[in-house]
Amino acid sequence: MSKRHAETRPPLIPQPLSTRDALRQAVNQVVLARLPVFDRDLGEASEHAIQLSSITPMRLFLEKWATLVAIERHPEQARMMREAERTIADPSAPEDAFRKAQAAVTRILDTAAEEAGVALW
C-alpha cells in the first residue's frame, strides 16, 4: 500500500493485473457506470493497434484504465480527484484554488500510477 493511503480506509479491491479481463472486472466492481466507456476505449485501441501494426494503443489503453482503477478503488481519492477536476474546469475558480487542484490531480495521478505500475512521466 502506498504511503499516501496508509492513513485512509483500505481499498475496495486489490489493484488488478493490467490485463483487459482483470481491468474490465475491476471497472465493473468499482466504477460500473464507466464500463461502456471501457468497452468503447478497448474497441478503439484494438482498431488502432491493427491499423498501426503496433501494440502501443493497447499498452496505452491498459495503462489508462489501470490508473483509473487505482484511483477509483480508493473512494476518498476518487472523490478528491473529481472535486479537483471540477475546480480546474471552473473558469471562475480563484487562482490559488486552481493551483491547489492542479497539485491534487498530480499527486493523485502519481500515486495511482505507482500503484498500477505505470510510468506517467
pLDDT tens per residue across span 3-52? 454 457 899 999 999 999 999 999 999 999 999 999 999 999 999 999 99
Q: CB of 64 within 8 A of CB of 106?
A: no
Cell of 53: 501494426
For residues 60 and 88, the answer to whether their CB atoms sit within 8 Å is: no
- For 53-98, write each residue's pLDDT tens digit: 999 999 999 999 999 999 999 999 999 999 999 999 999 999 999 9
Query: Is the backbone of residue 53 left (phi > 0), alpha (psi -120 to 50) or beta?
Result: left
Reported pTM: 0.87
CB 45 within 8 A of CB 51: no
Whether the CB-CB separation of 32 and 18 falls below 8 Å is answered with: no
